[in-house]
Chain A
Amino acid sequence: MHFFSQVATWFAQVTHWRGANGIPALFVHQVALTFAVVGAALVLGGGAGLVLGHFGRGALLAVNSANAARAIPTLALLTLFAILPAISLAWNGFLASFLALGVLAVPPILTNTYVGVREVDRDVRDAACAMGMNAVQVMLGVEVPLALPVVATGVRVAAIEVVATSTLAAYVSYSDLGTYVIAGLDTNDTVEAFCGGLLVVLTAALVAVVFARLQRLATPRPLRRDGTLLVRAGTSTAVA
């Protein structure tokens, strides 16, 4: 009981809700970082996946990158970038965080875009070519819309991983909700760390729900399934 009253007191403090280091500002920082990273990863990973998938090249790289990337400890990348003089703590740690999280976010989007494009019915692609569409038109007009649900799945998985890991960005002095967690751990303040943890969980859940909605919107109505909020990480679905 004592602990929870301390937690309630922490949340009731006005200073925690105002100013540059208040909860709203830090929440915005975390969400902004997440969307920036996922957006850039969509352009990069989606673009590469689309081109590789269209020409059927680089299957080994495209298919295995999502799994291989799991092994990279993001904490190490974050700190390594933060130590590099060229990056260091530029833009209050945003740059190092952005790059490290980008490494995390690109692979699932790349893999899913590649698989999605490869899974487009050959006949459909042939028909598009027969109608006189060129490579770019086939990619943008045929392959992208048909692969969209699979791409959206990759984007959602990437977003869940990025928002979770953006908590660690506080360790390299990017101030987001992880700042409470890191600061709490640093000063042995379990109450602050706990409250920060709660806020981070709520933010992650919110991001997960938003991207689940986006994924649903990207899926044609007849293909929508129930259980939108379930994540099926790492199950084997696609066979090239």
Chain B
Amino acid sequence: MAVPGGAMIAGLFEWSALPAWPTVRADLFQHLQLSLLAVGIGLVVSLPLAVAAWRYRFVRLPVFAFSSALYVVPSLALFVIILPLTGIGTVLTAEVALVGYTLLILVMNIVAGLDAVPRDVREAAAASGYSPAAALVRVDLVLALPYLFGGLRIATTTVVGLVTVTALIGLGGLGRLITTGFNADNGTEVLAGLVLSVALAAVLDLLLVGAERLLVPWSRGRHRLPAADARA
């Protein structure tokens, strides 16, 4: 009988226990792909939703309620509920659920950003001859950019973490390192999945911070604290 303790602790941090780099690279790449696709689609979907929710009061409650409900649904549960429609191991199954998660974060932040545009600025835009549509694109949405970036950062970090779960529905990504590592009692592989996933989230976050500094230079130094908030 093998000694359960010693061998596993020794194997926990052993580089030789890692799969070959091309395998890891492929998983990392698929993880990145799934994450970016989800945030990208999420942004495309939530932008019009947020503008509608901001402009029309009666749209706001249904949009917020729908995205809140999606947010409460556990990811794995959502995967298996849509599975009969979208198929096991398909990118579609993963993306429908992942996009659902980005919706609440992005919509809430964009609406908060649009709400924060000062009244004076909007009146000034109207006075200088902007049509409502032009003011929306060139004034309101531009001033909401810091909030949009705040939302994008949170959504990206969340999605990168969530994508690991897609390994359970037969997709690749870093979650596969975790599941194969677990099945083989190979702590090194699990740890590699964990570290790479956190590193990927950190790199994407830094890229977003860089992009924000380039695109929204005026927001620098006025950073807001994203505290978890649920309405009282």
Contact = CB atoms under 8 A, between A and B. Distances in A.
A233 B108 contact: yes
A207 B39 CA distance: 27
B178 interface: yes
B59 to A, nearest CB: 14
A108 interface: yes
Nearest to A168: B76
B197 A71 contact: yes
A149 interface: yes
Contact of A73 (B8, B9, B164): B164
Contacts of B179: 75, 79
A188 B228 contact: no
Contacts of A184: 80
Given A194-B80, A197-B78, A236-B225, A83 B73 contact: no
A71 B76 contact: no
A85 B9 contact: yes
A80 B177 CA distance: 12
A88 to B, nearest CB: 8
Interface residues of A, number: 77
Interface in A152-193: 152-154, 156-158, 160, 163-165, 167-168, 171-172, 178, 181-182, 184-185, 188, 190, 193
Nearest to B60: A227
B161 A73 contact: yes
Main secondary structure of the interface of A (DSSP, over half): helix
Contacts of A167: 74, 76-77
Given A3-B84, A197-B78, A235 B225 contact: no
Nearest to A224: B232
A82 B186 CA distance: 11
B5 A85 contact: yes
Interface in B137-195: 147, 150-151, 154-155, 157-158, 160-162, 164-165, 167-169, 174-175, 178-179, 181-182, 185-187, 190-191, 193-194
A158 B201 CA distance: 21
A168 B150 CA distance: 28
A76 B193 contact: yes
A160 B169 CA distance: 22
B130 interface: no
Interface in B71-88: 71-81, 83-84, 88
Nearest to B177: A76
A234 B224 CA distance: 11
Contact of A85 (B8, B74, B109, B147): B8
A235 B77 contact: no
Contact of B231 (A75, A172, A201, A232): A232
Nearest to A182: B168
B108 A232 contact: yes
A154 B165 CA distance: 24
A233 B5 CA distance: 41
A231 interface: yes
A123 to B, nearest CB: 22
Contacts of A234: 105, 108-109, 150-151, 154-155, 158, 226, 228-229
18 contacts: A71-B198, A73-B162, A79-B182, A82-B182, A84-B187, A85-B4, A115-B225, A152-B232, A153-B228, A153-B229, A156-B230, A181-B80, A184-B80, A190-B83, A190-B88, A230-B64, A232-B229, A237-B227
For the complex of A and B, 7 pairs with smallest distance between CB atoms:
A164-B74, A76-B194, A236-B224, A71-B201, A79-B182, A73-B164, A234-B154
